[in-house]
């Protein structure tokens, strides 16, 4: 099956961070240094901290619309203001160095100038003055990158999810989780507490120093090219999980959803920044790469029931696997 694909799709697959190194998937503390390029059968990914692609404008417009409808997707506890400014400066500096053609950042004292040619926007703002940017530092930052942004404070020997803008959550809620400890945030995930994965991950994260950026990937499945699968909108997308199972259009509707998550110790405030960049590819698209088709088919068939239940894919995963392995 090697149908010709439209150019945009080729681009998506070429940068797609296919997450399975083996035919079976289990949770592990799968963290690795950021900025190492990974070659795939369709191209490569991983050479950038912030990933801008052909869907840049569309995804930013979607985030803007979501935030207007539901401002609770942005949360920032008071003590995280310096962290939000730090996140803004750090990400704008990164954008300027990773996309020098399109992005420019300069600073003199507290006065900053930001030029985003992709959006045709130019801004001047003052570090620490929340009113100098629309949406404040965090809201503004979320209008410049496709990544969801989470900020964690470190204190009392723990990490606390004390701020962020998350419009593209995979079945969780920023408004609900804000103020929680890292371990509590991971409370619903099966296995990882017993296997001490999450306590080890926390210890590791607490020792991360500025400049030592790390990343990991995570995955689930989504019906439709839908980025917003947060708990708040469950009634809109939840029923699809059942209807897709015996829909002949399953291969086109069902998407593998991969999150590339970056872990960055912010260098001024000391907060931990967690960036989540969500990639979607339908089974039909993935099946154009034979190695991916087979690998995903096997992973879905083998996945233990508790993990499949947690990911919300139990109802259709075997149908998906059969199509991938049989088609």
Partner 1 sequence: MNVLELAVADSKYIAPDIREIVLRRISAGQQEVLPSYIPGSHIVIECGGRANAYSLTGSGDSPEEYRISVQLRPDGRGGSSAVHRFRHGERVKVSGPRSAFPPVATARRHLLIAGGIGITPILSHLRAAAAWGREAELLYSFRPGHAAHLEDIRALCGSSPSLFLMEFTERKAFRTGLAEALRRQPLGTHLHVCGPLGFMDSVIAEARSACWPESRLHLEAFGAADLDPGKPFTAHLARTGRSVDVPSGTSLLEALENSGVPVPNLCRQGVCGECRIPVSKGRPEHRDLYLSESDKAANTTIMCCVSRSHEPHLELEL
Contact positions vs ligand HEM (CB under 6 A): 27, 29, 31, 150, 152, 161, 172, 177, 185-186, 188-189, 192, 197-198, 201, 205, 216, 218, 220, 263, 272, 274, 310-311
Residues 139/74, Cβ–Cβ less than 8 Å = yes
Cross-strand pairs, 280: 257
Annotated catalytic, 216?
Answer: yes
CB of 84 to partner 1, least distance (A): 11
**CB-CB neighbours of 132 under 10 Å:** 17
Q: What number of other Cβ atoms are within 10 A of residue 266's Cβ?
A: 21
Three-state SS string across 109-157, please? CCEEEEEECCCCEEEEEECCCHHHCCCHHHHHHCCCCCCEEEEEEEECC
Residue 107 near partner 1 by CB under 8 A: yes
Which of 181, 216, 268, 322 is catalytic? The answer is: 216
Residue 274 interface partner, choices ligand HEM, partner 1, none, CB cut-off 5-8 Å depending on type? ligand HEM
Residue the block writes with tokens 């872990």: 263
- Shortest distance, CB of residue 120 to ligand HEM, whole angstroms? 32
Cα 185 to Cα 188: distance, rounded to the nearest angstrom: 8
Site for partner 1 in 47-106 (CB under 8 A): 79-83, 89
According to the binding rule CB under 8 A, does residue 271 interact with partner 1?
yes
Choose from ligand HEM, partner 1, none: what does 203 bind? Cβ within 5-8 Å by kind. Answer: partner 1
Cα(149)–Cα(142) distance, integer angstroms: 7
The least distance separating ligand HEM from the CB of residue 56, rounded to whole angstroms, comes to 24
Residue count, binding to partner 1 (CB under 8 A): 35
Q: Binding partner of residue 128 among partner 1, ligand HEM, none, CB under 5 to 8 Å per kind?
A: partner 1
Look at the chain and count its residues: 327
- The number of CA neighbours under 13 Å toward the Cβ of 258 is 20
Query: Among partner 1, ligand HEM, none, what binds residue 181 when CB lies within 5 to 8 Å by partner kind?
Result: none
Structure tokens at 192: 């990882």
* 273 touches partner 1 by CB under 8 A: no
Q: Are 53 and 12 in contact (CB under 8 A)?
A: yes
Question: Footprint of partner 1 on this chain (CB under 8 A)?
Answer: 28-33, 79-83, 89, 107, 127-128, 153-156, 196, 200-201, 203-204, 207, 209-211, 214, 265, 267-271
Catalytic site residues? 216
């Amino acid at each position: 099956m090697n149908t010709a694909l439209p150019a945009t799709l080729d681009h998506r697959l070429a940068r797609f961070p296919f997450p399975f190194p083996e035919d079976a998937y289990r949770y592990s503390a799968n963290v690795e240094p950021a900025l190492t390029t990974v070659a795939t059968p369709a191209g490569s990914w991983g050479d950038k901290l912030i990933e801008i692609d052909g869907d840049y404008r569309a995804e930013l417009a979607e985030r803007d619309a979501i935030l207007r409808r539901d401002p609770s997707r942005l949360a920032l506890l008071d003590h995280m203001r310096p962290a939000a400014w730090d996140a803004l400066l750090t990400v704008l500096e990164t954008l300027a160095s990773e996309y020098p053609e399109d992005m420019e950042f300069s600073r003199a004292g507290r006065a900053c100038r930001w030029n985003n040619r992709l959006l045709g926007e130019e801004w001047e703002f003052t570090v620490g003055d929340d009113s100098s940017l629309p949406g404040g530092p965090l809201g503004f930052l979320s209008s410049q990158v496709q990544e969801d942004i989470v900020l964690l404070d470190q204190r009392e020997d723990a990490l606390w999810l004390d701020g962020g803008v998350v419009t593209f959550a995979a079945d969780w809620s920023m408004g609900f989780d804000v103020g929680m400890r890292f371990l509590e945030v991971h409370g619903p995930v099966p296995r990882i507490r017993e296997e001490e994965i999450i306590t080890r991950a926390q210890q590791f994260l607490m020792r991360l120093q500025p400049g030592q950026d790390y990343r990991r990937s995570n995955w689930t499945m989504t019906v439709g090219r839908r980025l917003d699968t947060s708990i708040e909108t469950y009634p809109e997308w939840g029923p699809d999980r059942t209807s897709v199972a015996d829909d002949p259009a399953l291969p086109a509707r069902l998407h593998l959803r991969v999150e590339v998550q970056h872990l960055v110790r912010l260098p001024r405030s000391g907060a931990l920044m967690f960036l989540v960049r969500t990639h979607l590819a339908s089974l039909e698209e993935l099946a154009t790469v034979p190695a991916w088709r087979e690998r995903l088919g096997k992973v879905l068939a083998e996945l233990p029931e508790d993990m499949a239940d947690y990911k919300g894919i139990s109802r259709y995963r075997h149908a998906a696997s059969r199509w991938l392995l049989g088609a």
